[in-house]
Amino acid sequence: MEIYNFSKEAITSVEELREIVGVPHELIIKKSISFIDDHCKRFISMSPLLFLSTSNSEGKCIVSPRGDSQNLVKILNKQQLVIPDRSGNRRLDSMINILSNQYVGLIFIIPGLEGVLRINGRGTIIKDKEILNDMSLKGKSPFLGIGVDVEECFVHCPRALKESKIWSSETWQNPENLPSIMDMFHSHLKINGVELDE
């Protein structure tokens, strides 16, 4: 397999990028606010799913989905929110990243709504029981949470979700044709030399 050299036709400056794409309209720049207003609060309260983006001190990035039937996020005030850390695979990729680089990006999604809410800020891993006990799910409180000091909030245009028709069930694949997560999991283990008994 030939590896393509992306640097051959790479954009290397903001000036070159702007020359091709142009500049955003003033309204697009000014839609960003620095706190959680009532509109953002309502959006967050209706969102059962968010995507958390982090990177480590070397700039290596990950995006992690976080979802709950309830208590997905607790808003403490106009500048702070908390994401509970539910029991999972214990990889802790996002939290380990936050220990070396506090900057986080969040995307909140509401089923059926094509626009999304983006929030940027700084994350801190917390173990404050007073906060976390108030975020219990099925009778179990999280041991840890990610406290976010909010620096920027804005709605993102609906183009991606609209054009992908993600909420339109007639575009969904037949379940029998979907990738098997377990098959992928076992295959990737095998690539790394781990064989599981059938």
Query: Would you state the pLDDT for residue 198?
Result: 64
Kindly report the average pLDDT of the chain as a whole number. 94
List domains and CATH numbers for the chain: 31-164 (2.30.110.10)
pLDDT tens for each residue of 91-111: 999 999 999 999 999 999 999
- Measured in degrees and rounded to the nearest 5, phi and psi for residue 130 equal -60, -40
Q: Which residue has the higher pLDDT, 198 or 119?
A: 119
Query: Would you state the pLDDT for residue 69?
Result: 82
Mean pLDDT of 179-198: 89
Mean pLDDT of 183-194: 92
pLDDT tens for each residue of 132-171: 999 998 889 999 999 999 999 999 989 999 999 999 999 9
